[in-house]
């Protein structure tokens, strides 16, 4: 939980296999999301979602290339945690009957 430790010893060119796997899986997921956005029926927020996916892929790619993977992993895991919480909250709201 020490954010200063993220930068200790930077630039670190070697990354553990599990962290590299996680990073590459995340990159693959976001590339797949570009395909999904273009295959699905276009929504009102198509341009925003497409731009978001492009920037996310670029940030992952650049952080990998410039040895900022520790920071990238902190950001990606934070985003993953929120992605778990939001759908659960939305489903709970959708399943709650309206009050009259």
Binning pLDDT at 50, 70 and 90, where does residue 49 land?
Answer: confident
- Residue 54: pLDDT band with limits 50, 70, 90: very high
How distant, in Å, are the alpha carbons of 11, 14, 23 from that of 64?
A: 11, 11, 8
Residue 8 lies in a domain: no
Instruction: Calculate what percentage of the chain has a pLDDT beyond 70.
Output: 83
For the cut 90, the answer to whether the pLDDT of residue 17 exceeds it is no
**9 within some domain:** no
Residue 49: domain span: 15-95
Q: Is residue 36 part of a domain?
A: yes
In a domain, 100, yes or no: no
Provide the pLDDT for residue 27: 92
Mean pLDDT, to the nearest integer, of 15-19? 85
pTM above 0.75, yes or no: no
Domains contained in the chain, number:
1
Residue 55 within any structural domain of the chain: yes
Is residue 89 a part of any domain in this protein? yes
3 within a domain of the structure (yes/no): no
Distance CA 1, CA 6 (A): 9
Residues 39-64: what's their mean pLDDT?
A: 90
The reply to whether 2 falls in a domain is no
């Amino acid at each position: 939980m020490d954010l200063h430790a993220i930068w200790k010893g930077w630039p670190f060119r070697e990354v553990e296999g599990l962290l590299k796997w996680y990073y590459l899986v995340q990159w693959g997921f976001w590339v797949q999301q570009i395909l999904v956005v273009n295959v699905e029926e276009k929504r009102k927020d198509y341009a925003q979602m497409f731009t978001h996916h492009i920037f996310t892929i670029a940030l992952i790619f650049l952080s990998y290339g410039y040895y900022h993977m520790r920071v990238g992993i902190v950001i990606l895991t934070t985003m993953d945690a929120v992605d778990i919480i939001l759908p659960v909250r939305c489903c709970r709201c959708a399943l709650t009957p309206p009050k009259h």
